Structure 1
Amino acid sequence: MNARSTIRLVVSVDTEEEGLWNVGFPVRNNTTTNLRGLARFQALCERHGMPPTYLVTAPVLDDEQAVAEMSKWQQESRCEVGAHCHPWCNPPIVAEQVSSRESYLSNLPRELQYEKLAWLTDAIADRMGVRPTSFRAGRYGFSFVTARCLIQLGYTVDSSHLPLFAYPEDGGPDFRMHARLPHRLVDSSKPGSLIEIPVTTGFTRPGYELRRRIYQQTRQPIPRKLRLAGIADRLGIARRVKLSPEGTQTDDLKQLISAGVRDGLQTLVLMLHSSSLVAGCSPYCASEADFERFLSRLDSCLGFARTEFQAEGVTLTQAAVEIDQMLD
């Protein structure tokens, strides 16, 4: 199978502290109990030939066991370690309380964005022994200003875009009209570019553009009153899905993969949070039973992509290198 026909699957993990789900944005004293689940997750990925990309936040770098594990796996080419910025707990700390709007990196002044990203980049390089080249913004808080900072710091790939989704209520980004195919972000002010590989989103049936229009129309005021969005979802006409085992059923994940490949997607990005890797650390895995079901969905999803489409497991940076060559 040649490079252009191969289906790539990136397994990406927002590798982070606990606390985001229900206590706001704690600036200090964050815990990382969930990282004890990394080893079991790593073994599952390796069983499917899928090297994960761990995108780590600042508090993770204080966890000696997790740093040692990820450093070893990266040295052995069994994973990649990239960056994931939670600006509220990422130095430099400029406020002891952070509002919801300020929790999005993209809403901060350019200088502060750069300082936080520079600190995280240097800290990862120091603790892991390798300078990171892949990035995802916490809460998907990404803008072209963020991209310029990343280019300046030597990053080659970002995966912060979440097509079809928007977070306007508290000043978050709007990705409803963003492309879901990988593309190049170019800094016109100076030489440099960044490959954007969005998290895979879509629908459970092929025909992405048509279904995106239906999805948008059913969320207009009159169709919303008629509850057409729920009808379209239940009938599978426009069932919006994110490629994540968190809160998504196995059949929907498989259908999203199939529809995406049929629509021409060659690079799929699955994402999850490290807090789902230990029971009780995220709402997606509140109990041991939830956790085992979560692992089963992940296992089935990876197995399906590998057996049905011969998907090749790659890290974010590996995918970006191949895509960059294809875009030339």
Structure 2
Amino acid sequence: MTKPAFLITIDTEGDNLWQKHSSITTENARFLPRFQSLCEKYRFKPVYLTNYEMAVDPFYVEFARDVIARGTGEVGMHLHAWNSPPEVPLTDDDWRYKPYLIEYPDVQMREKVEFMTHLLEDTFQTKMVSHRAGRWAFDERYARLLVELGYQVDCSVTPKVDWRTAKGAPQGTGGTDYRHFPYHAYFMDENDISKPGTSSLLEVPMSIQYKHSALINTLKQGYDRLRGKIRSPSVNWLRPAGGNVDTMKRVVQQTLEQGSDYVEYMLHSSEYMPGGSPTFKTEAEIEGLYDDLEALFSSLQNQCEGMTLAEYYQRKTGV
């Protein structure tokens, strides 16, 4: 019997982008070899979804080329529109607002996606086939661009999560509402990305589960409506948050019990560095993160098969 896949996705980007920077540093690249070694210990293969500032960082480039050469991971594309060339202002302070790529005109969207694709392919001498949108913002125009450029896998969908209250450009309508999207892998309909279709682009949604039962969620939402508030039900991700290893294991089990043939983990590259994120600020917190990862990975070692997104696509298509 084929084991479910364990997919490790890393949004590989600058240091602590949660802060309002006017410039970006990439010190976190130097902390990735430790994580890569842990993955290799358990025969897992991370996918480094790489954005602009990391793609031009010499240390990261050398590290990722080695990963590719040894077949121990994959490099894919990740795009933060506000600092990815060609830079064309969308707001009066793009570095403050961090507008979504899907808020840009079609021509600028295309230019940015094409630039990043060619930069990564030229730098790493391999075809880019995997992608995640910056700030999880995705739409039909974006999907069609990826298909045109030969991408095979997207992993931008966060089922059960509504990002519309997370603003990008002040004049925009916020991020994408994924509450009613599928939570299993599916080939997208290019004209309605919330539905399966006949395109060549395989969507691999994040592994996310509700924190509470359907009954409790219904009661909580009813109470919120009485107070004039509209909120999505609380969720748990397959994502470290400090001391949440039991929660992550529960997300894995719930996801597999629902019939999924994969579970998908994510974290930002900067979260493996002390002070690189709001979550793991100290060396002690980073050590706690690695304790949790050891516990999670050891529990999955015999239950799942580690593979890249490209390898998962090959499993799904038989190609």
TM-score (norm 1): 0.85
Which SS does the other structure have where 2:221 is aligned?
coil
Determine which of 65, 69, 72 is the counterpart of 2:66: 72
Question: Using the alignment, how far apart are the partners of 2:25 and 2:176 within structure 1?
Answer: 27
**1:30-69 superposed matches below 5 A:** 30-69=24-63
What is the match of residue 197 of structure 1?
204
Aligned residues: 303
Task: Indicate whether 1:253 and 2:248 are aligned.
Answer: yes
Equivalent position amino acid for 1:311 in 2: C
Task: Indicate whether 1:158 and 2:154 are aligned.
Answer: yes
1:92 is displaced (CA, Å) by 0.7
Equivalent position amino acid for 2:264 in 1: V
Query: Identity rate of aligned residues, in percent?
Result: 28
1:168 is displaced (CA, Å) by 1.4
What is the match of residue 299 of structure 1?
294
Task: Indicate whether 1:9 and 2:3 are aligned.
Answer: no
Determine which of 256, 262, 273 is the counterpart of 2:257: 262
Determine which of 172, 175, 178 is the counterpart of 1:175: 178
- Runs of 5+ consecutive residues of structure 1 not aligned to the other structure: 206-210, 230-237
The 8 Å contact of residues 20 and 96 in structure 2, kept in 1 or not, is answered as: no
**1:222-237 superposed matches below 5 A:** 222=224
The 8 Å contact of residues 306 and 312 in structure 1, kept in 2 or not, is answered as: yes
What is the match of residue 235 of structure 1?
none
- Compared with structure 1, are the counterparts of its residues 252 and 322 closer, same or farther at alpha carbon in structure 2 (3 Å cutoff)? same
CA deviations 1:76-122 (Å, max 9, x no partner) are 11110000001111111002721777621222222211111110000
The 8 Å contact of residues 13 and 55 in structure 1, kept in 2 or not, is answered as: yes
What is the match of residue 114 of structure 1?
110
Task: Indicate whether 1:18 and 2:15 are aligned.
Answer: yes
CA RMSD of superposed structures (Å) = 2.6
Which SS does the other structure have where 2:201 is aligned?
strand
The 8 Å contact of residues 184 and 194 in structure 1, kept in 2 or not, is answered as: yes
The 8 Å contact of residues 157 and 206 in structure 2, kept in 1 or not, is answered as: yes
More helix by share: 1
CA deviations 1:61-89 (Å, max 9, x no partner) are 12111101111111111110000001111
What is the match of residue 232 of structure 1?
none
- Compared with structure 1, are the counterparts of its residues 299 and 103 closer, same or farther at alpha carbon in structure 2 (3 Å cutoff)? farther
Which SS does the other structure have where 2:14 is aligned?
coil
Question: Using the alignment, how far apart are the partners of 1:258 and 1:221 within structure 2?
Answer: 30
Which SS does the other structure have where 1:269 is aligned?
strand
What is the match of residue 131 of structure 1?
127
The 8 Å contact of residues 91 and 116 in structure 1, kept in 2 or not, is answered as: yes
What is the match of residue 217 of structure 2?
215
